[in-house]
Amino acid sequence: MTRRRAGKTLAFVFVSILALIWLVPIIMMLVVSFMPPEQRAPRFGGLLISGVSLRNYETIFADTEVIRHFINSAAVTIPSVALVVIISSLAAFALARLKFLARDIWFYLLIMTLMLPIPTLVVPIFQINKALGLNDNYLGLILPYTALGVPFAIVILRSFFAGFPIEIEEAARLDGCTRFGIYWRIMMPVSWPAVAVVIIWQFMTSWNEFILALVTMNSVDVKPLTLVPLVYSGQFLMRPGPMFAILTLITLPVIVVYYLMQRFMVSGLTAGAVRG
Amino acid sequence: MSRNWLIDNQGLFFMAPAMILFAVFVLYPILYIFGASLYDWDGINQAIYVGAQNYIEMFTNDRSFAISIRNSLYWTVLTIFPQMILGFTLASILTSGIPFQNVFRIIFFMPAIVSPVVLGIVWQRIYAPFGGLLADLGREIGAHFLIQPYIADPKIAIFSTIFVNVWQWTGFSMLMYVAGLQGLSQEVLSAAQVDGAGTRQRIQYIILPMLRHVHLTLILLGVIGTLQTFALVYMLTKGGPNHATEMLPTYIFQKAFTLQSMGYASAVAVVLLLIALSASIFQVRVLGSRFTIGG
C-alpha cells in the first residue's frame, strides 16, 4: 500500500514538473503582453519583465483596428459553427436512423473528406470564390469551413444518435411524430455532450484557420484575427509587447469556449468510442 | 408511386445540405485540381495544355518538392510516435486518481487549441539566438548546448519545427487515450489482477492491445495532420532557410500564390491528395466502418 502511495506521489511530482514546462510558451505569451514598453530588450524570451503594464493593450486598441478584426473572426466563426451543427446533425440523424438510397456510400464519401488536407483545396476554393464573387466576403470562408467541418461532426453525432433506444423512437412514431419531429424534439435535446464536442471543435478550427483566410481575405477590412500578426508584422516586429497582446487576444476566445465546454469533451468522445 | 419513393427515401432530404456543400467545396475542387494540373497557368491568362509535364518536372527536377516529401516522412514518424508514447504515459497517470488530474488534463491539452499562428510567433522567441528563451537560459546557467541556431540552420530547422508540433498535439493524444482507458472493461482488468498479472504485464498484454483503435486512429490523424501542416511552418520559418523546412502545403501555397503557377501547384496538390487518400483507404480497410474518435 505504501509502495503504491509512493508511486502516486512520484507520478504527481512528474506531471507537475512536466505541466510547468508545458505551460512555458503560453505563460510567455501572457507575460510579454504585459511587458512595460520602456523595457526594450526582453530577457529569457520575455519571461522576465521589469513590471506589469496594460500599455500594450492600449496601444493595439488605439493604433490598430483590432476590434474590427475580432468582429470579422466572430462573423466567420459563429455562422460556421451554427451551420455545422444544423447540417451535420440532420445528416447524422439520417445516417444513423433512416434507410435511404445509397446510404453507406454517402457516409463513406463524407468520411473521405475527413482525410482531405485543406491545402489541396486552396487553389480551387480560391477560384470558386472568385467566380462567385466571394473573395473578401465572409461567406467565402463560412461556406468552405462548414463544408470541411461537417464530416467530423457527422462521425461524432452519428455514433451518438445510433445509441439512442429504438423503443422511444417507436413510441413517438405511434403517437404520430414525424421523422423530423423525432430528430428535432427527441434526439437533439438529449445529444448535448456530442453537440458540445462539435461546437468546440468547429469553433477552434474556424477561429484558428489560416491558409484559406490568407488567400480569400485580401482587403484589410475583412481579415480575421489570425491574419493580424502578418498585417502588422512590419510595424510591430521590433516591439514584442503589442504583438504578444494581439496573440493573447487571438487565443482568449478559444480558451474560454474550451473551458466552458471541456467537461463534455471526454464524455462526448467516449460516447463516440463505445459505439463507433 | 414517386410519392412513396420520396417518403421511403426521406433521409435524402436530411442529407441534402451536407451533400450540396460536399459537391461544391470538396468534389468539384478535387476534379478541378486534376484538370488544372495538366496546364501551365498563372491564374489570370489563358492556360496552356502541357499534359503530364508538371508531374515530370516535379518528380525529376524539383529539389523543393523532394525536400517536402522527405520532411513529411520525418514529420510523420517524429510526431506520431513520441506523441503516442507521451500521450499514453500521461493518460495512464491522469486516470489513476492523482490530485488535480482534470487540471493537468486541461494544461496538457491547452496548446492544441491555440492557433498555430500564435505558437509560431511565440516559439520564434523561444528559439531566437539573442534574447531567446533557450539561448538566454543556456548563457545564464552555462549550458552552452542550449545556444543553437534552432531555426536558422537548415540541418536542424525541420526538427525544431517538428518539436513544436509534438508539444502542441501531445495533449490531444493524451485525451484520446484518456477516453479510451475510461472505456476499457473494468472486469477484464480486475480479472487480470486476480490472475496475478503485474502492472507491466497488464499494460503490455491487456491495455495496449485493447486500445488498438486509439493507436490506429492516432496514427491516421497524425498522417493527415502532417499533410495539412501549413500555419506553423509558415509563421515559424516560411519553409526556409533555403526550403529546408518546406512541407507540401507550404510548397503549394508558394507555387500558387507567390509564384503564380496555379497549374504546377495543382499537380503538387494532386500528389498530396493521393497520399492522403491512400492513407484513408488503408484506414477504412483496417478499421472498416468502426472509424472512431476516442477509442
Domains and CATH numbers, chain A: 2-53 (no CATH), 65-275 (1.10.3720.10)
Is the pTM of the predicted complex or chain greater than 0.80?
yes
**Interface confidence (ipTM) of the complex:** 0.85
| SS3 at position B238 | coil
Handedness of CA A239, A240, A244, A247 (dihedral sign): positive
DSSP code of residue B99: T
CATH class of B71-246: mainly alpha
Cβ contact B28–A128 (<8 Å): yes
3-state secondary structure of A232: coil
Are A29 and B122 an interchain contact pair (Cβ–Cβ within 8 Å)? yes
In the numeric block, which cell numbers belong to residue B258?
507567390
Chain-chain contact of B113 with A108 (C-beta, under 8 angstroms)? no
Given an 8 Å threshold on Cβ–Cβ distance, is B294 in contact with A46?
A: no
B73 touches chain A (CB under 8 A): no
Strand B48-49 relative to strand B39-40: parallel, antiparallel, unpaired? antiparallel
Query: Using an 8 Å Cβ cutoff, are A42 and A240 in contact?
Result: yes
Measured between beta carbons, which residues in chain B are less than 8 angstroms from residue A43? Answer: 131, 136
What is the residue-level pLDDT of chain B in tens, covering all 295 positions?
Answer: 567 887 778 889 999 999 999 999 999 999 999 999 999 998 788 888 988 899 999 999 999 999 999 999 999 999 999 999 999 999 999 988 888 998 999 999 999 999 999 999 999 989 988 878 888 888 888 888 888 888 889 999 999 999 999 999 999 999 999 988 887 777 777 787 777 777 788 888 888 888 888 888 888 889 889 999 999 999 999 888 989 999 999 999 999 999 989 999 999 999 999 998 888 777 767 765 454 443 3
Residue ranges of B 82-101 with Cβ closer than 8 A to chain A: 90, 93-94, 96-99
- B131–A43 CB contact, under 8 Å: yes
Closest listed residue to residue B167, CA positions, set B237, B90, B94, B100? B90
User: Grid cell 487518400 — which residue?
Assistant: B277
Domain ranges of chain B: 71-246
Hey, of B10, B14, B92, which one would you mutate to test binding to chain A, going by the most A CBs within 10 A of its CB?
B14
Q: Is residue B259 within 8 angstroms of chain A, CB to CB? A: no
Which residues, numbered 105 to 164 in chain B, qualify as contacts with chain A under a Cβ-Cβ cut-off of 8 Å?
106-111, 113-119, 121-123, 125-126, 128, 131-134, 136-137, 140
Backbone angles phi, psi at B48, to 5 degrees: -110, 130
